[in-house]
Structure 1
């Protein structure tokens, strides 16, 4: 998935990118944007993304989280402090380096991620019946590719 409009523009301008690829990229990006707009704004997108990263990858150092989420280390430290106060994460010693700490998702944080994901899925499901059978079949057939695309973007973000 394209992370911002500059990547979308680059994909569209790249002669190696087919017209069909740019149509797919634009459609996926537009859908993501619409879904993000409809989500509750009870927490910043960076906070939500950090919780989702911890849910997916397990405990991480603050410096790793900052790099993964594209924010400065002091900003991530402040964000983790806020998430810790709200009970979504906890900090503990890194067994490999006692000078560093690991940020771990709590049960409350995991429940938040799962609830938010379910809310998003429900939002999409609420309009699936408005699609034709062939449109729903096409989406079902694309599920493995969409999951792979998500995984590739997550890997790209973490490198």
Structure 2
């Protein structure tokens, strides 16, 4: 909802984010992996702490059986490890491995190679506007993560 003093239109913001996301998620990649694989690895790498399967089920919006199968494949491929939760031996913790972390690093490097020349095509004013927006976008993402944890 926008107040009368704001020049931010939520529908316009959503359209811009969706347009960028459509482009961004389709950037060419050397190692083609399913989105669900990349998402789980990114979730595990983001704050560096292991996650319970139940946590991943919620954040990844997958069924428990589907996520369990995915984690088994990722473990078989050496991208994650599963251990017992020391606080609850019945629960499983999923940790990202160095190999799993390298996939995320590789994706960021590929995106940098593809986006850098495009950013150079923008005017200095546009690049400056993007730079100024970055802290706000990061704050908005943090608010979204915080909100997801409390609901």
Same fold (TM over 0.5): yes
TM interval, short-chain normalised = 0.7 to 0.9
Task: Look up the match of 1:12.
Answer: none
SS of the equivalent of 1:42 reads: coil
- Post-superposition offset of 1:152: 2.7
Q: What TM-score does the superposition give when structure 2 sets the normalisation length?
A: 0.86
Any gaps of 5 or more consecutive residues in structure 2? none
TM-score (norm 1): 0.82
Report 1:75-94 matches (<5 A).
75-94=66-85
The answer on 1:23 being equivalent to 2:5 is: no
Distance verdict in 2 for CA 1:129–1:27, change over 3 Å: same
Q: Are residues 1:55 and 2:55 paired?
A: no
* Post-superposition CA distance 1:120-158 (Å, at most 9, x none): 233221201111110011001111011122223333444
- Tell me how far 1:64 sits from its aligned partner: 1.1
**Counterpart residue number, 1:116:** 107
5 Å-filtered alignment, 1:126-145, equals: 126-145=117-136
Q: Which runs of 5+ in 1 are unaligned?
A: 1-15
Q: For residues 35 and 61 of structure 1, what CA distance do their matches in structure 2 show?
A: 29
Aligned pairs, number: 144
What is the CA-CA distance between 1:92 and the residue it aligns to? 0.8
